[in-house]
Amino acid sequence: MRIKLQDVAQRAGVSEATVSRVVNGRPGVSERTRTAVLDVLVEMGYEPVSLRRSDPRRTIGLLVPELDNPIFPAYSQAIEAQLAKAGCLTVLCCAGRNGSAEAEYLATLLDRNIDGIIDVSGQHAILDGTHEMYRTVTEKHIPMVFVNGAVDGLRVPSVSADEAEAAYLAVRHLVDLGHRCVGFLSGPANHLGVRRRAIGFDAALDAAGLRGVTAESTMFSVEGGRNGAHRLLAAGATSIVATSDVMALGAVRAVREAGLDVPADVSVIGYDDTDLMAFTDPPLTTVRQPVQVIADHAVDLLVGQLAGRSVSSNEILVRPELVVRGSTAARRVS
C-alpha cells in the first residue's frame, strides 16, 4: 500500500512539511515531534533506509587515546552506559597514544553531524598539544566535554580526577610506613596530569620535611615503568609512586630484576585501580581513579548542553581514593 505524506501528517497531527523533514533526516523538528512522526511511520509499515538513519536518539562521539591501558576501556564502558541511560548512541573512536588520529576523528564526527563529543585524555591533556581542532568544534556549537584535562581559553566543561590529591595520598601512605626516600615514576613531562601529580608529590614530601627522586618516562607502559624504576632504585628509593597501574607493574618487575622484593625491600603504589590490580603478585596498592563518578559528571554536562542549558566551563575535580593492598609495607630498617 502506498503511504501518503498527508495520511502520516493527519495521524501524527503535524504538517506534511514536518513529515518530509523527518523522513529525510533534516533539522528543524523537535525530538518529541520527530519521535511521534517516526512512531506513526513504523505503525504504517514504512521503514526505508532514510528512516533508519534518522534515529531519534542523539549520537555522541567518545574519544579515548588507546584501549591497551585498561583504564580507557573502563572509561568507555562507564560513559557509554550513562549515555545509553540518557537515550544516546555512542560512537567509540581510538585516537592513538599520541593523539595522532584525534583531529581526523573530530573532523569525521563533525562531517557526520554528530550531536555531541566526550573526549577522554586527548590533546587537551597535553600542555603543548594541538588544541586548534577543539576551537573548530566550539565554533560549530557542538556540545563537548573534556575528561581528565582542560584547555585555558576554551569554554568547554571538563571533569577530572584530582591528580595532585592522588599523589599526595600515595606519598603520605609511604611516609606513614616509614619510608624516607620516595621515588616518583613520572610519565611525559608535558602531560597535564603528570604535572599535577608532581605538585602533589612535592607537597606531601615538603609537609614531611623530606626530599624525593624522580625518573621520567616517555610512555605510560610496563616497559616505561620498568626502565624508570631501575633509575629510581639506583638513586636509593625504597618506595615508588607510579603515575599509572601499568607503570607500577613495570616497577615491580624492575625491583625483582634488581634482586629485591616487593614490598619487603621496596614498596610500590600505582594509580587507576583497574579491575585486575587486586589479583597481581603482590596485589597492587594504588590510588583509585573515580571512573564512575567522572563518567556521571561528564554525561550530565553533555546532556545539559544538548538540552540547551547553560553549563559552567569550570573544571570539576573529583577526589580519588587510596586502596591499600600487598605491594606496600613498612620500611625495612638495615
| Domains assigned to the chain | 5-53 (1.10.260.40), 58-161+290-319 (3.40.50.2300), 163-289 (3.40.50.2300)
In sequence order, what E strands does 82-140 have? 88-94, 116-120
- Given a contact cutoff of 8 angstroms between Cβ atoms, the answer to whether 145 and 301 are in contact is yes
Query: What is the reported pLDDT for 49?
Result: 45
Report residue 117: phi and psi, to 5°: -140, 135
Q: How far apart are CA 219 and CA 202, in angstroms?
A: 21
Q: How far apart are CA 95 and CA 144, in angstroms?
A: 16
Query: What is the reported pLDDT for 59?
Result: 92
Q: Using CA of residue 144, residue 150, residue 151, residue 152, what is the dihedral sign?
A: positive
Query: What is the reported pLDDT for 16?
Result: 85
Identify residue 300 by its one-letter amino acid code.
Answer: D
Note the pLDDT tens digit of each residue in 229-271: 999 999 999 999 999 999 999 999 999 999 999 999 999 999 9
Which residue ranges in the chain fall short of pLDDT 70? 1-3, 25, 46-56, 99, 334
Q: How far apart are CA 53 and CA 34, in angstroms?
A: 13
Query: What is the reported pLDDT for 54?
Result: 47
Query: What is the reported pLDDT for 119?
Result: 97
Burial of 7 per CB tally in 10 Å (0-12, 13-18, 19+): middle
The predicted model scores a pTM of 0.81
Letter string b/e over residues 174-208, b meaning 16 or more CB atoms within 10 A of that residue's CB: bbebebbbbbbbbbbeebbbbbbbbebbbbbbeeb
Structural element, H or E, at residue 270: strand 267-272
- What would the grid cell of residue 87 be? 537515550
Query: What is the reported pLDDT for 45?
Result: 73
Query: What is the reported pLDDT for 56?
Result: 62
